[in-house]
Every structure is written in C-alpha cells, then in structure tokens.
Structure 1
Amino acid sequence: MISVSPSLISPNIPTHSQSSNKPVKLGIMASGSGSNFEAVAQAIENGQLNAEIKVLIYNNPDAYAAVRADKRNIAAVLINHRDYKHREELDKQIVQTLCQHDVEWVIMAGWMRLVTQELIDAFPQKIINIHPSLLPSFKGVKAIEQAIKAQVKITGCTVHLVSLEMDSGKILMQAAVAVLPDDTPDTLHTRIQIQEHRILPAAIALAVNSEQ
C-alpha cells in the first residue's frame, strides 16, 4: 500500500461485455470496507466484466478496501483528504495518481467525498458513482436512514455518471429493494448492498459500451 500525504427485481442481470477485446482500465475510489470494489474485482475474475483495476485510491487510513486490494496485488494509494486544505487540491492529487496508473474510467465505489471540477474535467463523462437510493430520491449522506424516516415502501440503489451536483448525472442502472416494516438502517443496508454488488459491474460495462 502506498501513502500520498427481499429485492423487487429479477436476481439475474444479463452480462454486459464490451465490444472491444481490450480491457478497460479502471481506477476505483473507496472510503470504507470496499465491498463494491470486491464486487467489481470478482466480476472481472468471473469474465463478466472486461476490465482491469489499475489502482485503488482510498482516503481513510483504516479503510478495509486497501486490505482487499493488497490481497489481490492491486496498487492501493492512500490520499488522505485531511491533508488538503481545499477540495480542489485533493482532486488534483487524485487526478495525478489516476493518470500515473493510466486509468481510463473512474469508479466511485463508496467514495464519501464531494468531487470538484478538477476531477470531472480530467475524466469527462467517465466517472461512475453508486448511491444507496433510487435517485433522485434521498441524495446525500444517510440515504438509507432518509428512506426509513420517510416511510417509503421501496428504495434501492443507483449507478450514475458523476456531475458537479451531488448525486446527479445520467442514471445508468437501478435496482429496487422493498423496505420492510421492521427494517433498521443495518438490515436495509445489507439487502441494498446485495443489489449494489450486482448492478455496479453491469453498469460499468454498459457505460463503456456506449463510448465505443
């Protein structure tokens, strides 16, 4: 590791494979456990996604995502947001690191920081985010808690292209999850994550296909 200072949809999503034989080069950004990083890596290993993870960038020193990357011999780079006074400075370092690893597409898989124009301009329409709600509902932090508080019957997750406005941008794929009467944030989060792990690799392939 390197330091720089009950679902409502079908359980099977068709495999989307890119038209080109050349694997797309991914840079993944994560802040926590890295379960979505693991899902993408597993989809690559299973032949469901024609891609290569060039680098994992993580911003919390204790993020388990870095351990997952290390186990797979994938470069893991710590870029701690606390070391930067301005978000633009953080994103400049992120862009530099992504470019050093020859990244083509950026995947925000549980990245808990707002992006700036620095990152968006460096990878226009090639940054993908996954969010634990059916956007445009429940943007921002604590989306699952927001859904429970609103007493909705259905929530889920969304994969979308990143724009400057938080949790906006073109929606690529969504999955719906029922909210049960006795759900807590933890129980609902567990079921939503199952769907996140399914749709994120498929949405990446879908987005890459549309660019080819």
Structure 2
Amino acid sequence: MKLAVFASGFGSNFSALLEAEKQKKLSAEIALLICDQPKAKVIERAVNESIPYYCLSPKDFPSKAHFEKQLVQILEEHEIDLIVLAGYMRLIGSTLLEPYRNRIINIHPSLLPAFPGRTSIADAYYANVTESGVTIHYIDEGIDTGPIIYQEVVAKKPDDTLEAFESRIHSVEHAIYPTVLEKIIQEGETNEKTSVN
C-alpha cells in the first residue's frame, strides 16, 4: 500500500505518520509528498527522510482542472493507492476526486459538522464550547463534509488558553491519525482478499 501525503504547512501530522511507519504501526509506505507552498516546513521534513516531493501551485496552471490533472498523473506514476491530507489547505476538485473517490482521507481539528474550515480551533475556542475534538473523514465535493470515519472528543478546560487548547487537539491528531489509517488499510486488504476468494 502506497500513500501520498498532501500538506501545506508545518507537517506535524506528516511527521507523526512517518514515525508510525518507522515503528511498524502503519503497514504502508509513505511514498510521496504533495505540497502547494514552496516555503512550507513539511518539504524540509520530506527531504530529511528522502521522500520524493512535488511542490505545485494552482496559479501556475490555466485552471484548477489542469492543476489536478497534473496531480493525477504524478499519483499514477508513483502508483499511489491512498491520498492522506495532513493540513492541506485546498478544496479537492472533481478532476482529482473522481479517480480517487473513497481513497482521499482528511483529518480536521473539530467535531464535524461543527466548525468546518481552516479556523476551526479558534472558532470552537471563542464559541465557548466545553468540548471540541478531531474528525477523520473521507473527502467529497464540499468543505469538510465527507463521510465521517472516526471522531475523538477533546475537552476545553475552563482555564485553557487558545494555544493550550490547540496544542491538545494537535496531540490527539498525531495519536489517532496513524491508528485510524492502519485500520482502514487492514480492512481494505481484508476486503480485497475476500473479493478474490
């Protein structure tokens, strides 16, 4: 099983997945990084681990469809089975979604459908909720609207700063993403074996 990780920023979830692979807790190869920000820290992490990466920006293409067609070509060349989004800040369009439907997984720092979008942790914090959390879900055409795979609650403590709340949510992300992905991979392999026999 070959994974491509899509990321736009620091790459902490990317690092958590790499560590899980090294510790044999993720029975897949992280074979590729796709990034849309040339100065993103995640690229440095990929280079340090000798993982091939491509940095592509939609603004360098005549349309989003052209951009995603190039991505599909790269993914096919590397024989990617599953796309894992880890802080990728772009909406996936139909050109990429269709050939990889039910094979693109995202992690989002809230209990969806509450607080979708890129400011979800701050939105939850300032809404004075008593809890938020982390959602792992399949991607569809909407913004954080795909079928939910797994959720874990993170309590918001009365004395939490935004930074403390954010840090605790990210810690949960790093812990559960490799575990949930491993379960998906194992279930996928079981289903394949069942369909063959």
Relative to the length of structure 1, the TM-score reads: 0.85
**Number of the residue aligned with 2:195:** none
Question: Following superposition of structure 1 onto structure 2, how do residues 153-192 of structure 1 map, counting pairs within 5 Å?
Answer: 153-192=130-169
Higher RCO, Cα 8 Å, sep 6+: 1
Q: CA RMSD in A?
A: 1.3
Does 1:84 find its partner at 2:31? Answer: no
**Number of the residue aligned with 1:59:** 36
**CA separation of 1:84 and 1:163: change in aligned 2, threshold 3 A:** same
Question: Following superposition of structure 1 onto structure 2, how do residues 85-104 of structure 1 map, counting pairs within 5 Å?
Answer: 85-104=62-81
Which one-letter code corresponds to 1:136 in the other structure? P
Please state whether the residue corresponding to 1:38 is helix, strand or coil: helix
**Number of the residue aligned with 1:122:** 99
**CA separation of 1:178 and 1:85: change in aligned 2, threshold 3 A:** farther
In structure 1, C-alpha distance between the alignment counterparts of 2:96 and 2:8, rounded to whole Å? 17
Please state whether the residue corresponding to 1:193 is helix, strand or coil: helix
Percent of pairs with identical residues: 37
Does 1:107 find its partner at 2:91? Answer: no
**Number of the residue aligned with 1:211:** 188
In structure 1, C-alpha distance between the alignment counterparts of 2:83 and 2:188, rounded to whole Å? 14
Deviations 1:97-124 (A, max 9, x none): 1111110000001000001111111112
Is the Cα contact below 8 Å between 2:27 and 2:185 reproduced in 1?
no
Which one-letter code corresponds to 2:43 in the other structure? A
How far residue 85 of structure 1 moved from its aligned partner, in angstroms, is 4.4
**Number of the residue aligned with 1:201:** 178
In structure 2, C-alpha distance between the alignment counterparts of 1:51 and 1:139, rounded to whole Å? 29
Task: Work out which of the residue numbers 113, 125, 137 in structure 2 matches 1:148.
Answer: 125
In structure 1, C-alpha distance between the alignment counterparts of 2:126 and 2:67, rounded to whole Å? 34
**Number of the residue aligned with 1:35:** 12
Deviations 1:48-102 (A, max 9, x none): 1101011100000111101111111000110123323432222222211111111
In structure 1, C-alpha distance between the alignment counterparts of 2:46 and 2:16, rounded to whole Å? 12
Which one-letter code corresponds to 2:17 in the other structure? V
Deviations 1:173-210 (A, max 9, x none): 22211112343433221111100011111111222233
Relative to the length of structure 2, the TM-score reads: 0.91
Could you list the runs of 5+ residues in structure 2 that have no partner in the other structure?
Answer: 190-197
**Number of the residue aligned with 1:10:** none
Could you list the runs of 5+ residues in structure 1 that have no partner in the other structure?
Answer: 1-23
**CA separation of 1:181 and 1:81: change in aligned 2, threshold 3 A:** farther
Please state whether the residue corresponding to 2:9 is helix, strand or coil: coil
Please state whether the residue corresponding to 2:153 is helix, strand or coil: strand
**Number of the residue aligned with 2:194:** none
